[in-house]
Amino acid sequence: MPCDGNASCTDNGRTAVCPDPADLSFRIATLRVLDEQGRVQPTAEPDVSEAELVRLYRAMTLAREADQRMLKLQRQGRLGTFPLCTGQEAAACGSAFALRPDDWYAGGYRDLGARLLRGEKLETSLLYWAGYEEGNVSPEAGRTLPTSAIVAAQTLHAVGIAYAMEYHGERAAVLTSLGDGGTSEGDFHEAMNFASVWQAPVIFLCVNNQWAISMPRSGQTRSRTIAQKAIAYDMPGVLVDGNDVLAVYQATREALDRARAGGGPTLIEAVTYRLMMHTTADDPGRYQSESELQEWWRRDPLPRFRTYLEDKGFWNADRQASLDEEIKAEIDAAVQALESREGLAPDAQFEHVYDTRHARLEDQRAEFLANLARESHHA
């Protein structure tokens, strides 16, 4: 029989609990701190010190400049194919800025700024995109998982870690990020479901950059927002301006605090735009309109945040010039370190499969090295 909206109803002798229609209304919280001109919204400004705000701005600037340098390296044949993060620095850095050292980070492949904020060396990212397994090893980044190239797979890893921390009584949380395309993967929905059932301390950050390679967001889902997908899993959903680094930080911090206190998971949608190609193998001119692209360039998160800092008296042209020189030197040093390294182990990938060595894996290592030696001899 159809449910009549009562607290319970019976179907073929079985009693099922039905929701009260009055409890089915929902609203997605929205958050913005800085408008597109960098002006702060009344009562919305988070309490962050000058030193920390400058550290956040530096991370965003380093990510932008490293991204553009890596593009030149790739075009020169000195780096492999990689995904660019230009335009998404606020979402990556603002969310990672909210993490504590004892929290975990499980990111995707377009999160350079977050990884740098977590302490990963730029050289490590360069190694990864140059095709070296050593690029997955970053002890200085603490509880940060290697880059996940498999779309949305990291969301399952994040929930597993969060559940393990709950099991062991740790009061920490996990942040996992993915793109809007990742929400079309089954992994994402499985992760959301388990996180909700277990009330695991995990934050899902969907960086909605409008494109899953060449598939627009409108071709992926009929949902008016991605944040509202949280409703099906009975967790909070928050929609933020993804080009407003302070809004992303505020939303993530509140979600992390709630998760650590036992309040369960949250889904945050950060609305932004991919200002460059999906990867260096992509031609976005075949599907992106120039007018839309230019409109989003006008919403660039870096000038917005810089204006905010200047208005507060924390930044000026001299400090910017000094930072530009400092970052250029840092990137130059990382590139030099990459290209001058010797003795990169060809079998490094076998070192990081298990914590201890296994006979079958060692047999595969030996076979791999033998084949490599044979091919080198023939060459």
- pLDDT, greater one: 345 or 190: 190
Is 360 one of the annotated active-site residues of the chain?
A: no
Q: What does 2-19 look like in DSSP terms, one character per residue? A: ---SSSEEEETTEEEE--
Confidence of residue 25 (pLDDT cuts 50, 70, 90): low
Tell me if residue 189 is catalytic: no
- Judge residue 356's burial from the number of C-beta atoms within 10 Å of its C-beta, 0-12 exposed, 13-18 middle, 19 or more buried: exposed
Segment 313-340 shows an average pLDDT of: 97
Q: How many CA atoms lie within 13 A of 357 on its CB side?
A: 9
As assigned by CATH, the class of the 26-340 domain is alpha beta
Buried residues in 70-85 as b, exposed as e (16+ CB within 10 A): bbebbeeeebbebbbb
- Catalytic choice (64, 110, 217, 274): 274
294 Cβ contact partners less than 8 Å away, ≥ 6 residues apart: none
Angstrom distance (rounded) from CA 5 to CA 7? 7
Provide, rounded to the nearest whole percent, the portion of the chain with pLDDT above 90: 80
Per annotation, catalytic residue among 287, 352, 357, 374: 287
Interval 276-288: pLDDT, tens: 999 999 999 999 9
pLDDT band per the 50, 70, 90 thresholds, residue 41: confident
Residue 155 has pLDDT above 50, yes or no: yes
pLDDT of residue 13: 43
pLDDT in the model for residue 10 = 41
Would you place residue 80 in the very low, low, confident or very high pLDDT band (cuts 50, 70, 90)?
very high
Q: Is the pLDDT of residue 21 over 60?
A: no
User: What mean pLDDT do residues 224-232 have?
Assistant: 95
Whether pLDDT at 24 is above 90: no
Give the pLDDT band (50/70/90) at residue 133. confident
Higher pLDDT, 344 or 38: 38
Q: What is the pLDDT of residue 22?
A: 52
Q: What is the pTM of this model?
A: 0.87
Note the pLDDT of residue 347: 83
- Are 124 and 132 contacting, i.e. CB atoms less than 8 angstroms apart? no
pLDDT at 17 over 50: no
User: 204-216 burial, b if ≥16 CB within 10 A, otherwise e?
Assistant: bbbbbbbbbeeee
Q: Where are the domains of the chain?
A: 26-340
Q: What is the pLDDT of residues 110-132, one digit of tens each?
A: 999 999 999 999 999 999 999 88
* Continuous H helices in the chain: 50-75, 89-96, 112-117, 122-129, 153-167, 186-198, 245-260, 290-297, 301-311, 317-340, 359-378
Residue with tokens 């099906």: 232
Check 64, 69, 110, 278 and give the catalytic one: 278
- Read off the pLDDT band of 18 (50, 70, 90): very low
What pLDDT does residue 112 have? 96
Average pLDDT of 84-102? Answer: 97
How much is the mean pLDDT over the chain? Answer: 91
Give catalytic status of residue 352 as yes or no.
no
